[in-house]
Amino acid sequence: MSVDLPPSRPSDRPAQVARWGGLLPGPVVWRWRGGAVGWTVASAAIALIVMMPLLALLVLGLHGSGDLWPHLLAFVLPDAIGTTLMLLAGVGIMVTTIGTLTAWLVTAYDFFGRRWLEWALLLPLAMPTYIIAYSYLDLLHPIGPLQSGLRHLLGLSSPRDLMLPDIRSLGGCILLFGFVLYPYVYISTRTMFHMQLASLVEVAHTLGAGRLGVFFRVALPLARPAIAVGASLALMEAVNDVGASEFLGVRTITLSIYTTWINRSNLGGAAQIALLMLGVIIVLVGVERYARRHQRYAGNARQGRRLSRQPLPALAGLLAFGACAMPVLAGFVLPVAYLVVEAVARLRQFGLSPDIVSQTLHSVGVAAFATVIALVLGLVLTFTVRQNSNVLTRLLQRLAGFGYAVPGTVLALGLLAPLALLDAGLDTLSQTVLGHGSGVFVFASGGALVTAYVVRFLTMSVGGLETGFQRIPPSLDQAGRTLGANPLALLLRVHLPLISPAVLSAGLLVFVDCMKELPATLLLRPLNFETLATHVYGEAARGTYEDGSIAALAIVLFGLVPVMLIAEFGKTSQTMTHSPPQTDRTETGS
């Protein structure tokens, strides 16, 4: 909508500019608000699409026969719920301990290798949980390379002479998940330490507090909100897992949903378990937010100093280096080295399989399509809040981001009924217009898979774009309105060029998470449609680990892209946070 100012005398121009800028009532103000209403309606439609699978899941669960519940209550759910809670407790303790300790060491102390470790500690983010389980199952096999090499060093010949504890256990699952998911806590906690601690640590040292006293009495309480946020993200990833749990023999409630649906062909029973699981997740998130409801910390806006790192003596520095290097070694270096060796051996023996090429194209194509849609919807949500921030628009944005808290298995269950209705409507329309049915168009075309990706990872798009919008001063919006730009023109011609780095960052994060997603892909992919993730899952299920090494390595390499992006963004944000304030020459008169 382009509007031209009517001709007028020069003396009338200030009053007209004020009216067109929204300072006085007039037709342009009304039309601007009308546009804002349209964007709010669009945001409400997006939120409804995200919540639709959950509503469908509720209806599906209520229509279940319930004949499976005696068996579930007697033999499945008690063990599954207990195992899931123990898994979450163990993973929570591990990621909190590793993430907080490593963040404090690289922030507060200076030792050999600190600069390398500061970004290397992010590398396990590129390793999906099912791939690290896939790798260690072969690495730690009784006749695998680690145990065979250890027996060779000790002069033992039989696997029975030396057998390490079986990785196929709840303890093994907790250990592997902890080494992969701790970066969620590390990122948020390190950022908090960088931004808030300088003056407080100096005061604590002045009052005679030692290193341990500063950490436990100042740094740790201050970082509790950041730790809680990171741990919540890590636990959501652990709950979402299907592949690693199945490989390691850990029967979680998510795996119970999957097996109830696939093995027993009981969709209603699976939906009822999914609703129970969703209720547990909502309770956990509510408890976490209630526990830190009074924890609000604010830093000094004028603080521009970095926390001065204390140099460690040689022995203490060596211990700090080992403590930070161990999770990197276990969570990234060892499994990637295994994948590289197996992939090279596979390529030398058989070459690159055409199936890997087609699976890569499938993964990239579906992930790219879902990423574009997620970015467009994210722009609508964030721009709506930007131009009309109120309780309703902020609530709609939160509802649209709820999909990330829903495991892929639960999401796939909830999408079945709505997408089946859509397919039926398209089939009826095709018969009416073309004279023949379209079949299962949405499911056969991969539309169901794209929908699941968009719903699940829309919150990542919204978060990245929201960060970009926050860097744009409101005065640009006011100038655009003054010049007669409608909301769409303002978004496309003003905001979008300025937030293009944020759009690229958010797109990369969504794209790589789509590439790694396994549960929803297993359940919603079209027939004879294999991706890199499903290929790895199939090879691991058959026990032919070396055959899936190329696909697993490709997923890890794709995952390295956002890790490098996060590392670079961390450097930039730290530089901006701690750079000295610039002096305005006009104000100082110099």
Q: What is the mean pLDDT of each run of 10 residues along the chain (590 residues)?
A: 41 39 38 64 90 82 64 75 89 94 89 90 89 87 78 77 81 93 89 69 65 72 81 85 85 78 66 74 67 54 59 90 94 92 87 86 92 93 86 87 80 83 78 69 80 90 83 80 78 84 85 88 86 88 78 88 73 50 38
Q: Do 281 and 237 meet the contact criterion of CB atoms below 8 Å apart? A: no
Return the percent helix, strand and coil in the chain, to nearest 5.
80, 0, 20
In a domain, residue 530? The reply is yes
Nearest to 121 by CA among 285, 326, 274: 326
In a domain, residue 556? The reply is no
Q: Beta strands 109-110 and 310-311: pairing type?
A: parallel
Nearest to 400 by CA among 361, 454, 447: 454
Q: pTM of the predicted model, to two decimals? A: 0.78
Nearest to 185 by CA among 125, 108, 113, 120: 125
- Residue 392 CA, chain-centre distance (Å), reads 25
In a domain, residue 55? The reply is yes
CA distance 222 to 408: 33
In a domain, residue 439? The reply is yes
In a domain, residue 188? The reply is no
CA distance 57 to 411: 9
In a domain, residue 287? The reply is no
CA distance 412 to 451: 10
CA distance 413 to 441: 18
The residues with which 485 forms a beta bridge, in sequence order, are: 2
Give me the domain span that covers residue 458.
26-63+352-543
pLDDT value, residue 31: 41
The dihedrals phi and psi of 419, each to the nearest 5 degrees, come to -70, -30
Q: Which tokens go with 257?
A: 């949903």
Helix (H, G, I), strand (E, B) or coil at 212: helix
Q: CATH number of the domain that 366 lies in?
A: 1.10.3720.10
pLDDT value, residue 427: 75
The dihedrals phi and psi of 388, each to the nearest 5 degrees, come to -150, 75
Q: Do 237 and 405 meet the contact criterion of CB atoms below 8 Å apart? A: no
In a domain, residue 394? The reply is yes
In a domain, residue 224? The reply is no
Q: Which tokens go with 243?
A: 């592949």
**What is the DSSP code (8-state) at residue 293?**
T
Run of H or E including 109: strand 109-110
Q: Which tokens go with 77?
A: 């759910």
pLDDT value, residue 584: 40
Length of the chain: 590
pLDDT value, residue 194: 74
Nearest to 237 by CA among 99, 128, 110: 128
Nearest to 362 by CA among 557, 508, 517, 506: 517
CB atoms within 10 A of CB 282: 12
Instruction: Look at the chain and report how many structural domains it folds into.
Output: 1
CA distance 44 to 46: 5
Residues in CB range of 461: below 8 A, 6 or more apart:
374, 375, 377, 378, 506, 507, 510
